[in-house]
Amino acid sequence: MTSVTTNILLPLTADLAPPNRRGTALSIVISGLLLGVLIARVLAGIFGQYATWRATYYFAVGVQACALGLCWLIIPDCPPPSGQQQLSYLGILCSMGKLGATEPALIQGCCVNFGTSVAFTGFWVTLTFLLGGPAFRYSTLDIGLFGLIGIVAVMAAPLTGRLIDAFVPWHATLLSVACLCLFFVIQTLAEGRSIAAVVIIAFGLGLFRQIVQASVLTQILSIAPESRSRMNALSTLSVCVGQVFGTAAGTAVFLRYGWRMAGLLSVALCLWQILILLLRGPHCERYTWFGWQDGLGILKRRMV
């Protein structure tokens, strides 16, 4: 109920950033969210090895206090846009339902977010079982340190943001999902027997999952500026639901069928995402659900 408030910064970032740098700005903010997840894995390994569970909460209180102070000092005071329709809380929820039923690009992006989150979360959850199991027998600390690999990949946020700014977000999403599929194929073929393969997969997933999330959000937040916060809420919901499903499905598949089948599930999810993207091209009109319009058009049209 409280940690999700960090996602308020995403539509605010889209409002403050110029259109030609919006992808870079969103990539940097999203990298902060992903870094939090990955750094938490490293810290969990350290606390699990050397401290008690209480130390985790003491540390969290200190971090949140620092974050509150930084937000107070850094985040600008932005009044609500003039002339914007004022809605009650119930009205906001109803309007979100309407957006979810009438905005094809939003639904397409949420489907991609869901599939990516299921696959990404499933990998990191089952990785703990793999590394702690008979194949490697790593300690809690060793398993947590694997989060450092993903952190290195996420640090490329400024570069990936420039890629999104230069290309139509749909193309960046499609390319990144295809690359994710390739890394999950490596997971399937390696069968959990090579630690080098695990390192490569962890790096690739951290890099391309970030591009997917940033490019999808760039596309979603450009649909209707007056509805950015509500569209971002639906996008965030798709990510969170995907994480829940990824944890449950990844665990169930790994325990019953092993690491290889968990990777195969992720490959299937990536292929499903590619199908979702191909059903609606990059330049369709706002309310067009299926088809292609105005060709392929990889580069963004520059305004003169």
pLDDT tens by residue, 55-95: 888 888 998 899 889 888 888 877 766 656 677 778 888 88
What is the share, in percent, of the chain residues with pLDDT greater than 70? 93
Residue listed under structure tokens 């706002």: 286
Q: Does domain 7-74+90-279 have CATH number 1.20.1250.20?
A: yes
Q: Output the CA torsion 209→240→130→41 (10° steps).
A: 80
- Cα separation, 300 vs 120, whole angstroms: 29
Output the pLDDT for position 259: 86
- Cα separation, 67 vs 36, in Å, equals 12
Largest CA distance in the chain: 62
Tokens in use for 97? 């339902």
Question: Do the Cβ atoms of 153 and 278 come closer than 8 Å?
Answer: no
CA torsion sign for 71, 76, 79, 83 is negative
pTM exceeding the 0.75 threshold for the entire prediction: yes
Domain boundaries, the chain: 7-74+90-279
Comparison of pLDDT for 286 and 158, the residue scoring more: 286
CA distance 155 to 279: 32
Could you report the per-residue pLDDT of 123-144, keeping only the tens digit for each? 988 888 888 888 788 887 777 7
CA–CA distance, 21 with 129 (Å, rounded to integer)? 40
Reported as a pLDDT band with limits 50, 70 and 90, residue 197 is: confident
